[in-house]
C-alpha cells in the first residue's frame, strides 16, 4: 500500500509539472468567479489525469458478447439505465467508478472496431437530440466522430450529414466512420468540409435534428498545453469563440425544419461559451424555444455531477472524483 501511495505521489508530481501555468492561472481567475467553491474540486480532477475515467461505447455493427462479459468482469456497468426519456436498447455504453482506460483498438482497413473510448458525458448531447429512425440529421462540427458514431448506435437516419470544416480533423472523422460503420450504412452518410456558418444558407430547413458540438476552449486539453506560446495564443483567441459559436447556432437554426430540434454542446466550463451563447440566441431568434432536458439530467444524476442553478433547457456536467466526466455543457432548442 505504501509503495503504491509513493508511486502515485511520484506520478502526481510528474503530471503536475506538465500543467500549463498560464492556462491554470487564467482558469483560476475565471472559474473561481463563475463556479465559486465548486471550482476547487473540479480543478483537482482536471489537473490530475490519475483521476480521469473513460467510457466504452460498444459498436452494434461489430457486436461481441465476449466483450460485454470482459467489461463486466473488469467492474464495468452500463452508464445509462433506468427511466431516461430517450434510451434506445441498441446504445450500450459501459463505465466503472475507478479511473483507468480500457485498451484502445487500432484502425485496420476493412475491419470494424468493436468499441469507441470516450468521455461518458459526450453521450448526453446525443441522448438529448433523440434521433429516430428515418430522420434527416446534421452533425455540424462532427470530428473526431464519437458523437456521430453514438447517433448511429441509436437510430438509422434517413440522411446523415457529418460536417467538419478543419481539413485534418475531417480526415480523422472519415477514418472514424470507416472504422465503425459498415458499407451499406456508409451510403446514407455524407461527410463534408463546409464552413458550418454557411450551412444554414446552403441547406435551409433540410434537417429534422441538428447537433452543434461547437469548437470551444477544451478545458481538459488546454490545461496540458506543452507550448506556452500556443497556450497564450489560445487564451487570446478564446474571447472570439462565443461569436463563432453564436454564428454556428444561427446557421443550425436555418438548417433545421420547423418542428425540428437542435442540441448545442461544448466541453468547457466557460459561461461565455455556454449559457451566454444560448441566451443570446433565445433573445435574438424569435423562431426557437428552449426544450426542457431536466428529466434526462435527473435520470443520470447517480453517474454524473451537475452544476446547480441552470435553466431547465441546459445542463453542465462537472468532473468530480469517482465521477470524473465532463466538463460537458448541453442545451436543447426547438424551431417553431
The three-point CA angle 271-322-40 to 5° equals 45
For residue 164, say whether it is annotated as part of any ligand binding site. yes
**Which listed residue (48, 162, 267, 285) is catalytic?**
267
- The three cell numbers of residue 265 are 454542446
CB 270 within 8 A of CB 217: yes
Q: Is 334 assigned to a binding site? A: no
How far does the chain reach from its first CA to its final CA, in angstroms? 60
User: Would the annotation count 195 as a binding residue?
Assistant: yes
Cell output for 200: 444554414
Question: Residue 262 burial (CB < 10 Å; 0-12/13-18/19+)?
Answer: buried
Q: Is 208 assigned to a binding site?
A: no
Compute the distance between CA of residue 211 and CA of residue 207 in angstroms, rounded to an integer: 10
CA distances from 94 to 58, 78, 107, 117, 135 (A): 8, 4, 21, 10, 27
Radius of gyration, alpha carbons of the chain: 20
**Is 36 a known ligand-binding residue?**
no
213 carries a ligand binding annotation: yes
Sign of CA dihedral 285, 329, 21, 30: positive
| Contact between residue 316 and residue 327 where contact means Cβ atoms under 8 Å apart | yes
Q: Is 272 annotated as a binding residue?
A: no
Q: Tell whether residue 303 is among the known ligand binding residues.
A: no
**Number of Cα atoms under 13 Å in the Cβ half of residue 221:** 7
Q: Is 267 one of the catalytic residues?
A: yes
Q: How many CB atoms lie within 10 A of CB 103?
A: 6
DSSP 234-279: HHHHHHHHHHHHHHHHHHHHHHEEEEEEEEEEES---GGGTHHHHH
147 is in an annotated binding site: yes
Q: Does 227 count as an annotated binding residue?
A: no
Give the residue numbers of the binding site: 141-147, 164, 195, 213
> Looking at the annotation, which residues are catalytic?
267
Give the residue numbers of the binding site for S-adenosyl-L-methionine: 141-147, 164, 195, 213
Amino acid at each position: 500500500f505504501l509503495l503504491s501511495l509513493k508511486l502515485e505521489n511520484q506520478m502526481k508530481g510528474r503530471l503536475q509539472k506538465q500543467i500549463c501555468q498560464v492556462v491554470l492561472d487564467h482558469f483560476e481567475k475565471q472559474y473561481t468567479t463563475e463556479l465559486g467553491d465548486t471550482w476547487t474540486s473540479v480543478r483537482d480532477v482536471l489537473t490530475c489525469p490519475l483521476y480521469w475515467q473513460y467510457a466504452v461505447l460498444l459498436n452494434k455493427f461489430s457486436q461481441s458478447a465476449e466483450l460485454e462479459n470482459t467489461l463486466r468482469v473488469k467492474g464495468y456497468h452500463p452508464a445509462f439505465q433506468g427511466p431516461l426519456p430517450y434510451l434506445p436498447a441498441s446504445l450500450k455504453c459501459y463505465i466503472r467508478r475507478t479511473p483507468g482506460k480500457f485498451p484502445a483498438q487500432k484502425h485496420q482497413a476493412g475491419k470494424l472496431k468493436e468499441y469507441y473510448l470516450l468521455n461518458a458525458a459526450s453521450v448526453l448531447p446525443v441522448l438529448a437530440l433523440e434521433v429516430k429512425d428515418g430522420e434527416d440529421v446534421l452533425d455540424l462540427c462532427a470530428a473526431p466522430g464519437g458523437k456521430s458514431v453514438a447517433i448511429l448506435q441509436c437510430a438509422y437516419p434517413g440522411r446523415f450529414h457529418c460536417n467538419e470544416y478543419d481539413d485534418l480533423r475531417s480526415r480523422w472523422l472519415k477514418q472514424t466512420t470507416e472504422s465503425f460503420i459498415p458499407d451499406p450504412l456508409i451510403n446514407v452518410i455524407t461527410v463534408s468540409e463546409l464552413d458550418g456558418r454557411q450551412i444554414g444558407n446552403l441547406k435551409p430547413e433540410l434537417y429534422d435534428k441538428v447537433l452543434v458540438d461547437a469548437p470551444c476552449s477544451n478545458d481538459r486539453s488546454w490545461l496540458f498545453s506543452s507550448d506556452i506560446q500556443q497556450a497564450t495564443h489560445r487564451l487570446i483567441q478564446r474571447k472570439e469563440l462565443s461569436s463563432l459559436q453564436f454564428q454556428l447556432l444561427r446557421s443550425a437554426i436555418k438548417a433545421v425544419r420547423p418542428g425540428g430540434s437542435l442540441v448545442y454542446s461544448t466541453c468547457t466550463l466557460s459561461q461565455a461559451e455556454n449559457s451566454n451563447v444560448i441566451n443570446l440566441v433565445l433573445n435574438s431568434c424569435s423562431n426557437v424555444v428552449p426544450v426542457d432536458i431536466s428529466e434526462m439530467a435527473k435520470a443520470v444524476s447517480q453517474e454524473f455531477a451537475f452544476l446547480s442553478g441552470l435553466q431547465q433547457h441546459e445542463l453542465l456536467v462537472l468532473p468530480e472524483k469517482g465521477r470524473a466526466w465532463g466538463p460537458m455543457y448541453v442545451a436543447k432548442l426547438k424551431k417553431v
